[in-house]
Structure 1
Amino acid sequence: MKKKKLGLTARILIGLFLGFITGIVIYLFVPEGMIRDTIIVGGVLKFIGQVFLRAIKMLVVPLVFISIVNGAAGIGDIKKLGRIGGRTLVFYMTTTAVGISIALLVASVINPGQTDGLDLSAVVTQEVEINEAVPIVDVFLDMVPTNPVSSMVNANMLQLIVFALLIGVALSALGEKAEYVSKLFSELNEIMMKLVSFVMLLAPIGVFGLIAVTFANEGLDAIYALGKYFATVILVLFIHAIITYGGILKIFTGLSPIRFFKNFFPAISVAFSTATSSGSLPITMDVSEENLGVSKNISSFTLPLGATINMDGTAIMQGVATIFIAQIYGIELTFMQILTVIFTATLASIGTAGVPGVGLIMLSMVLQSVNIPVEGIGLIMGIDRLLDMTRTAVNVTGDAVCSLIIAKKEGEFDEAIFHGENSFNENKLKPQINIANEPAN
């Protein structure tokens, strides 16, 4: 009997586990110095992780631009495009508001900031340097690019999405007059997805390197010091992912949440290890199409938009952190202040770039809205990287659930793919050549 090869999901899980063990062993048993810091962590492991991370980041801007143009042009009907866009925005904004509401409720019950004997000086690991928060009006104004080329160079995703949507709508309106350009974008999209499949071959070893570096540098000391806060954030993230997303998926599609998480796990693991929604977007799009059965027309629109504005995990962190820091400083929040936090964090998610660590900058905006000292952010910086990984996984999960629901509603969903025993199709990488059946010249 032929031995069955390990699937991508299993190999990524092994990479995650080995990376965690390797990182902890290095942190605990390898003394600081050139061998540990320069050769092992800063050399071999960093190289392994960063090659993978750079490879997927390389694809983000061209993939987002090409896929949204292709998706908008493929939808054809402008009314349908508007309907899909409206549903997408409603889903993202609603789930963000629900997420931060759950965070505030759970944090108010657990009281993570009421920890006896907490030494503030011991857990403040960095000085707080917070840029001035951008007004919400400017966030919306900044969505319209003045120079599309500059938007691409600077990876301004909101501007890129707006410009790509306009081109897609124009191609759709022109019809046969722009048939050649539409076909070109379709072929470019196929090329980009093939590149994604190449990069996915690096996923298990790339995930290993990223996780190992994180735990080799951070260890578990910071988690012990802020265990109550850390556990509260993790708890709310799991509640939101399993109950909120799972419940919404079951109610609106009738599909199995368990099957969804199984099929989508490769994307979740990459998002977890990279801690960047935008950076993991190529993988999220590929897995949504190959494993979940979402059509390219839907995924190419909803997923890039979600990677830019759907930051439920970040909003949850902001909710728990607000309660935590308020309790540390002995500040009791009123009902109106809690409503302000929900409103501000929901709107702030629109302007939160999908890159590691940016949630702390947006947290300052939330704290300032209810007059809580922003210096309190210094308390949680030591463990934010670890939490950032988990909340990014939640963010991309929300993007995929939204895409699945809309695809089902719009008749753009392949149920056979969703229910099949699918994993990432590595056979796509093998050249399909059959010389015997080639016609004679």
Structure 2
Amino acid sequence: MDGRLKGKKTSTFFKSYGFTLLLILSILVGSGLGILLKKDAALLKPLGDIFLNLLFTALVPLVFFSIASAVAGMSNGRRLGKILSAMLAVFILTGTAASVLMVIGVSIYPPATGVHIELQSAGDIQQLKTSEQIVKAFTANDFNEILSKKNMLALILFSILVGLATSSLKERGRAFADFLTSASDVMMKVISFIMYYAPVGLCAYFAYLTGVFGPDLLGSYFRAMSLYYPLTIFYFFTGFTIYAYLAGKGRGVRTFWKNIIPPALTALATGSSVATIPSNLEAANRSGVPKDISELIIPIGATIHMDGSCLAAVLKIAFLFGIFQMDFSGPGTLLTAVGIALLSGTVMSGIPGGGFIGELLIISLYGFPLEAFPIISMIGVLVDPPATMVNATGDNVCSMIAARILGGKNWMKGIDI
């Protein structure tokens, strides 16, 4: 009996993290090939380019159909509107707090010190500082310009508008809403097909990067993880305690920590915020969160609220700034990084393969060369378990804060701790 249970747990672990382990293995193999082949490893770069080209080709339709279909499927109602407003406000505030924490961390302990990479298109990198650049980031002056990975924010805004228009037409827009949903499912499947090639593509690219630019790059990953893991643990215990206190003071803190451990461990074990929804809902109910709040915020939060991803996004941005010898300081640069991290941890995280799409967004907005994508994708792989735990746990405490906003300071009255 124990053997079958142990085998089942092992099977669940590999089902949850098998692909992540395969990616890590492929990257290690690629790095080993790079050290062995040195400059000759550049011959493997075309295999990595194929992976990047496939991803970039699917990027625009994936983002459009995923966001447009999600917005088109939203329902209406006064209570629903209040809950959604409270939810979005709390999601943005907690995501901003996580991003600012990592900004402070990377400012004190830069994750890519001593590494310098020269890539052909690195000279085109831009930092969004002026109002003109911001306008260009959010809008495009022609429809065909939206259909480009260079205008990701404009594409996202247009996708939201299409979704809102579809939803407002109700029955008349039903057929188009069904089309958007079907197209989103198709693009999800396309991405899943492309990801079968990811181990080969990342292996080839890391062989090229390590062979051409040296093993110093690998040391920077260790430096980045030595920053991310302690800060994430600090945010998990300190940040969520503060949020729970804001939701219900001492009672809120005791109730939160009494009930949150099972969802947190589930998220850590499965690597999926979605898989944590059942245990998260149960924990929220035990904490006294009204069901209409918890049953809306927690499922939505599992796809669009990612504090752990916000932490990781700032780390990725600072990592690239360090590699390309750019100054990661100044109010404009830091505020832009927080904004992009917030976008990566909310809107982009709701898209299938959102981690990869968020990384593509970072590269697109700053104008980093496309070859920078595999460099930060490795960070995404390494931070996934603790990031998922923070993501899922954050949904629970945010439902408590929303209950406090909508129910007043006595919303926890009568709850049996």
Of 245, 254, 258, the residue aligned with 1:250 is: 245
Give me the whole-angstrom Cα distance separating, in 1, the residues matched to 2:159 and 2:317.
22
How do 1:120-135 residues align onto structure 2 when only pairs under 5 Å count?
133-135=152-154
The 1:416/1:234 distance shift into structure 2, 3 A limit, reads farther
Deviation at 1:289, TM superposition (A): 4.1
Give me the whole-angstrom Cα distance separating, in 1, the residues matched to 2:9 and 2:240.
23
Q: Where does residue 330 of structure 1 map in the other structure?
A: 325
Deviation at 1:229, TM superposition (A): 0.8
2:349 and 2:358 in contact (8 A); partners too: no
Q: Where does residue 401 of structure 1 map in the other structure?
A: 397
Give me the whole-angstrom Cα distance separating, in 2, the residues matched to 1:393 and 1:245.
12
Of 230, 253, 259, the residue aligned with 2:225 is: 230
Give me the whole-angstrom Cα distance separating, in 2, the residues matched to 1:291 and 1:110.
40
1:377 equivalent to 2:373? Answer yes
Q: Where does residue 299 of structure 2 map in the other structure?
A: 304
1:268 and 1:393 in contact (8 A); partners too: yes
Q: Where does residue 283 of structure 1 map in the other structure?
A: 278
Query: Helix, strand or coil: the match of 1:393?
Result: helix
The 1:309/1:276 distance shift into structure 2, 3 A limit, reads same
Q: Where does residue 264 of structure 2 map in the other structure?
A: 268
**Paired letter, 2:348:** T
1:263 and 1:292 in contact (8 A); partners too: yes
Of 137, 150, 168, the residue aligned with 2:157 is: 137
Q: More helix per residue: 1 or 2?
A: 2
The 1:223/1:242 distance shift into structure 2, 3 A limit, reads farther
Query: Helix, strand or coil: the match of 2:231?
Result: helix
Give me the whole-angstrom Cα distance separating, in 2, the residues matched to 1:270 and 1:224.
31
Give me the whole-angstrom Cα distance separating, in 2, the residues matched to 1:131 and 1:258.
46
Deviation at 1:313, TM superposition (A): 1.5
**Paired letter, 1:370:** Y
1:357 and 1:388 in contact (8 A); partners too: no
Deviation at 1:12, TM superposition (A): 8.6
1:316 equivalent to 2:317? Answer no
Q: Where does residue 290 of structure 2 map in the other structure?
A: 295
Give me the whole-angstrom Cα distance separating, in 2, the residues matched to 1:142 and 1:99.
31
Give me the whole-angstrom Cα distance separating, in 1, the residues matched to 2:9 and 2:256.
17
2:284 and 2:396 in contact (8 A); partners too: no
1:106 equivalent to 2:105? Answer yes
2:294 and 2:399 in contact (8 A); partners too: yes
Deviation at 1:237, TM superposition (A): 2.0
The 1:366/1:384 distance shift into structure 2, 3 A limit, reads closer
The 1:235/1:115 distance shift into structure 2, 3 A limit, reads farther
The 1:233/1:357 distance shift into structure 2, 3 A limit, reads farther
Give CA-to-partner distance per residue, 1:52-74, whole Å, 9 cap, x none.
xxxxxxxxxxxx99xx97xx87x
2:281 and 2:295 in contact (8 A); partners too: no
**Paired letter, 2:349:** A
Q: TM-score, normalization: structure 2?
A: 0.57
Stretches of structure 1 that go unaligned for 5 or more consecutive residues are 1-10, 33-63, 122-129, 157-217, 420-441
1:285 and 1:300 in contact (8 A); partners too: no
Give me the whole-angstrom Cα distance separating, in 1, the residues matched to 2:352 and 2:81.
31
Query: Helix, strand or coil: the match of 1:112?
Result: coil
**Paired letter, 1:388:** D
Query: Helix, strand or coil: the match of 1:226?
Result: helix
1:362 equivalent to 2:358? Answer yes
Give me the whole-angstrom Cα distance separating, in 2, the residues matched to 1:339 and 1:395.
22
2:284 and 2:400 in contact (8 A); partners too: no
Give me the whole-angstrom Cα distance separating, in 2, the residues matched to 1:404 and 1:253.
8
Give CA-to-partner distance per residue, 1:195-242, whole Å, 9 cap, x none.
xxxxxxxxxxxxxxxxxxxxxxx9xx9987721111222223223222
Of 158, 165, 178, the residue aligned with 1:149 is: 178
Q: Where does residue 235 of structure 2 map in the other structure?
A: 240
**Paired letter, 1:244:** G
**Paired letter, 2:245:** K
Give me the whole-angstrom Cα distance separating, in 2, the residues matched to 1:275 and 1:418.
31
1:389 equivalent to 2:385? Answer yes
Q: Where does residue 81 of structure 1 map in the other structure?
A: 80
What is the CA RMSD across the aligned residues, in angstroms? 4.6
Of 338, 352, 368, the residue aligned with 2:348 is: 352
Give me the whole-angstrom Cα distance separating, in 2, the residues matched to 1:330 and 1:87.
40
Query: Helix, strand or coil: the match of 1:353?
Result: helix
Stretches of structure 2 that go unaligned for 5 or more consecutive residues are 1-7, 30-69, 120-147, 167-172, 186-202, 204-214
Deviation at 1:382, TM superposition (A): 3.4
Give CA-to-partner distance per residue, 1:314-367, whole Å, 9 cap, x none.
121110111111111211134312211212332343322347752232123234
The 1:111/1:353 distance shift into structure 2, 3 A limit, reads closer
How do 1:171-250 residues align onto structure 2 when only pairs under 5 Å count?
226-250=221-245
Q: Where does residue 184 of structure 1 map in the other structure?
A: none
Deviation at 1:270, TM superposition (A): 2.5
Q: TM-score, normalization: structure 1?
A: 0.54
The 1:283/1:108 distance shift into structure 2, 3 A limit, reads same
2:95 and 2:307 in contact (8 A); partners too: yes
The 1:239/1:231 distance shift into structure 2, 3 A limit, reads same
**Paired letter, 2:343:** L
Query: Helix, strand or coil: the match of 2:288?
Result: coil
2:102 and 2:315 in contact (8 A); partners too: yes
The 1:120/1:237 distance shift into structure 2, 3 A limit, reads farther
Deviation at 1:88, TM superposition (A): 1.2
Give CA-to-partner distance per residue, 1:236-271, whole Å, 9 cap, x none.
322322222221211331135465234122222232
**Paired letter, 1:358:** G
**Paired letter, 1:138:** F
Give me the whole-angstrom Cα distance separating, in 1, the residues matched to 2:332 and 2:272.
33
